[in-house]
A and B are shown apart, each in its own frame.
Chain A
Amino acid sequence: MSVFALVSAAAAAAGEAAQGAAESSGGLPQLDFATWPSQLFWLTLTFGGLYWLMAGRFLPAIGGAIEERRDRIADDLDQASEFKRQAEDAETAYNQALAEAKAKAQAIAADTRAEVDSEIADMQAETDAKLAGRLEKAEARINDMKAEASAKVAEAATDATRAIVEKLIDEVPTDDAVARAVANIAR
């Protein structure tokens, strides 16, 4: 029922519309050739004018801006890669300098160590020599004192021997005989 009503209403509306069209003009307004010259004139004016402005002014301006931006971006990229290259060069130089410095530092350390070692060795040698000298001197003194002491002991022994012999036999022995006797015992 409702569908039927809709269709009939639509048909009525369409009929009315078609009637209106028939009333308003004899045919399509598009085929009313009397209006063509005016439309062509204004089309030529507006389209031609627009083409003139587009070709002469607007499009070169837009294209120029796009082109300029492209150039600028390309330039910037070039510059960026140039900077990158420079940075890499600097890094290489830095690494090289660092390696050189390290090598130099190691060399200096080695030199210093060698120097210090030799100095220590010198000082030790000197000290050793000094000590050895002192030791020698001390030994010599000890030997001297030993010899002196043994000489004194021998003298005392000789004196004692002479005194003992004198007491025993009341005779003074010769120095030679006493020395021989003491030497025989001391041996």
Chain B
Amino acid sequence: MQGFRVASPMEQFEIIPIVDLSLGSIDISLTNSAVWMLIGTGAIIAFFFAATRRAAIIPGRLQSTAEVLYEFVSDLVRDTVGPEGRKFFPYVFTLFVWILVANLFGMIPSLPGLPKAAHTFTTTSHLVVTLALAMVTITIVIVYGFYKNGLGFFKLFAPSGQPFYMYFLLVPIEVVSFLSRPLSLAIRLFANMFAGHIILKLFAGFVVSLIGAGGFLAVVGILPFIGAAAVTALEFLVAFLQAYVFAILTCIYLNDAVHAADH
């Protein structure tokens, strides 16, 4: 069985330091996670650098792709937040593209035989990453909400047009709902990436185990293989969908910040 050692589905999430670095007493080692953040971000920068090198009236292939992305997110922000959302567009765009690339690059298969530190790593499968992004969104919502509406921002917790006794019920619900936003935002993305990759590795593990068992079971191994292929296709959809959901929820929360006083 030595040749068929099945990797634990958890091993893919391990953070492995590559270069030890520290900032004062804080550990900022270059890890496999950091490497994949750099690869993803570097790829995005390279793509947009190439796409905008010659901004032409008649766009080339790269520029067309960049423009499709631009219009997609631009429409998303305009439809959800309205014209005032324009100032948040760079943030939402960066968020969408960064998460999309992190999710998609996590789907690249690792080359067999490489040391673990060189395996593909999905940076968005870590709670701290998604939580940090969610906190940035919520911080923008709160800071801009108070800056724009002053104390009128609190109207967000008291939807108008209700009988007064309803507010005893509504306000706590709205407060809890508001406070749970960053958590739900963070956990939705993290859990989707985490669960998807676990299922993928479980199916792959079944294939290896069944082939290792030999005989008739090796033939049955085709079933989890088909399953793994299907889940891979599904994961590509999830990778896009979760980036989109994160971006659109950010827009919806920003809309609250912009229009809190209108409630």
Instruction: Name A residues whose Cβ lies closer than 8 Å to a Cβ of B.
Output: 2, 5-6, 9-10, 12-14, 16-17, 20-21, 23-25, 28-32, 34-47, 49-51, 53-55, 57-59, 61-66, 68-69, 72
List A contacts of B9 (CB < 8 A).
17, 21
A34 x B27 contact (CB < 8 A) = yes
7 residue pairs bridging A and B, Cβ less than 8 Å apart: A9-B206, A10-B206, A38-B33, A41-B26, A43-B132, A58-B51, A59-B89
Residues in chain B within 8 A of chain A (CB atoms): 6-11, 13-15, 17, 23, 26-31, 33-34, 37-38, 40-41, 44-45, 48-49, 51-52, 55-57, 59, 63, 66-67, 70-71, 74, 89-91, 93-94, 97-98, 123, 125-129, 132-133, 190, 194, 201-202, 205-206, 208-210, 213, 216-217, 220, 223-224
Bound Cα distance A69, B67 (Å): 12
Q: What's the dominant secondary structure at chain A's contact region?
A: helix
Asked if residues A51 and B41 are in contact (CB atoms below 8 Å), the reply is no
Which residue of chain B has the shortest Cβ distance to A30 in the bound complex?
B127
Q: How far is the CA of A65 from the CA of B66 in the complex (A)?
A: 11
Measured in the bound complex, the distance between the Cα atoms of B55 and A72 in whole Å is: 14
Residues on A with C-beta less than 8 A from B190 are 30
State in angstroms the CA–CA spacing of A58 and B57 once bound together.
16
CB-CB < 8 A to B28: which residues of A? 37-38, 41-42
* Known pairs A42-B37, A59-B89, A63-B70; A50 contacts B44 (CB<8 A): yes
